[in-house]
């Protein structure tokens, strides 16, 4: 352990107004959220954890990059598109010039009231929840502030019960979707980005009103591939490292595929999941992609 570093003990979930959050959240910051001052020019990327947040940060960062993209050294994704509800190292991300770019994992009920009925653009990215569960399972081994699950089976139950940080996946997606008319919002799936990264970049930039030339789009696509993000510390969070993360476990850029759940779910777990999914998401007509055939 290097000087000045201390280990982080995994903490139990922290309940805030009925929602499971974690020890990296502070009550002080969460209390600011309800009346947070939102600007029309702000951009919010909303995700449930493990749904491609870091990918979206990288894409949005590049969509808003001006200047000579060929030579320009990129800034850290989490500095350009910081986490709304967490303040890192007391850096003030609120007083930035417009357009401020943010990401948030907050459930609908905890987001700033001022985000509603505004022009502020919101992009909600969702991922098929079987892959979210697998990705979240591995993330628990990577994040030192989360308890390491015994095995995937026990974690899956915890995930289904919403006993994880940022609470229940089903409620997160359903509530944001059911309240979509209150926002200037676009829904997009992680899998559609995988299927055609270029088309996704164009959809995001159109929605955000950023007209990009072909060269700019080429660079975004090139810098947002799994391979290139995995090798770029500006994009992959690698430099956060110890003590928050366990560097010997798979990091944020783990596999980046669709259908890894098939390597983890038993047949019984899959049938149980399908029943619960069917019941909870029957009135949410979002398109899900569970696997992509070659």
Least distance between ligand A3P and beta carbon 141 (Å) = 11
Residues 6 or more apart from 260 whose CB is under 8 A from it?
131, 134, 135
Nearest to ligand A3P of 113, 255 (CB atom): 255
The residue from 25, 62, 88, 105 that is catalytic is: 105
Hey, is 128 helix, strand or coil?
A: coil
Which chain residues interact with ligand A3P by CB under 6 A?
A: 47, 49-55, 131, 135, 138, 194, 224-226, 229, 252-256, 260
Whose CB is nearest to ligand A3P? 256
Nearest to ligand A3P of 27, 250 (CB atom): 250
Q: Is 140 a known active-site residue?
A: no
Nearest to ligand A3P of 243, 256 (CB atom): 256
Least distance between ligand A3P and beta carbon 132 (Å) = 8
Instruction: Decide: 205 and 212 in contact? Cβ < 8 Å.
Output: yes
Per-residue exposure over 195-214, b if at least 16 CB sit within 10 Å of its own CB, e if not: eebeebbebbbebbeeebee
Least distance between ligand A3P and beta carbon 264 (Å) = 10
Half-sphere exposure of 49 (CA within 13 A, CB side): 20
Nearest to ligand A3P of 162, 182 (CB atom): 162
> Residue 47 is inside which H or E element, if any?
strand 43-47
Give me Rg for the CA atoms of the chain: 19
Least distance between ligand A3P and beta carbon 133 (Å) = 10
Least distance between ligand A3P and beta carbon 231 (Å) = 11
DSSP character at residue 83: B
Nearest to ligand A3P of 40, 106 (CB atom): 106
C-alpha 2/C-alpha 73 separation (Å) is: 28
C-alpha 177/C-alpha 187 separation (Å) is: 8
Residues 6 or more apart from 281 whose CB is under 8 A from it?
170, 173, 174
Tokens of 32: 């600011």
Q: Which residues are catalytic?
A: 105
């Amino acid at each position: 352990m290097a000087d000045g570093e201390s280990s982080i003990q995994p903490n139990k979930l922290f309940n805030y107004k009925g929602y499971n959050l974690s020890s990296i959240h502070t009550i002080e910051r969460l209390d600011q959220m309800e009346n947070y001052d939102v600007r029309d020019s702000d951009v919010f990327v909303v995700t449930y954890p493990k749904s491609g947040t870091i990918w979206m940060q990288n894409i949005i960062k590049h969509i808003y990059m001006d200047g000579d993209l060929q030579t320009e050294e990129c800034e850290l994704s989490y500095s350009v598109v910081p986490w709304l509800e967490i303040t890192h190292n007391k850096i003030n991300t609120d007083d930035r010039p417009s357009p401020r770019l943010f990401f948030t994992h907050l459930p609908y009920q905890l987001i700033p009231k001022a985000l509603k009925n505004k022009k502020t653009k919101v992009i909600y990215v969702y991922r098929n929840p079987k892959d979210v569960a697998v990705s979240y399972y591995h993330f628990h081994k990577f994040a030192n502030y989360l308890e390491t699950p015994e095995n995937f089976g026990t974690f899956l139950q915890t995930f289904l019960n919403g006993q994880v940080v940022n609470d229940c996946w089903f409620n997160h997606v359903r509530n944001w979707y059911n309240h979509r008319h209150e926002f200037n919002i676009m829904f997009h799936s992680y899998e559609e980005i995988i299927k055609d990264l270029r088309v996704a970049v164009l959809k995001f930039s159109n929605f955000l009103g950023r007209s990009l030339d072909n060269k700019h789009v080429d660079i975004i696509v090139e810098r947002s591939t799994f391979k290139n993000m995995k090798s770029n510390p500006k994009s992959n969070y690698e430099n956060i490292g110890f003590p928050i993360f366990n560097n010997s476990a798979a990091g944020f850029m783990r596999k980046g595929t669709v259908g890894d759940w098939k390597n983890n779910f038993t047949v019984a777990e899959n049938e149980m999941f399908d029943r619960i999914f069917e019941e909870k998401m029957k009135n949410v007509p979002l398109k899900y992609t569970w696997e992509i055939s070659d």
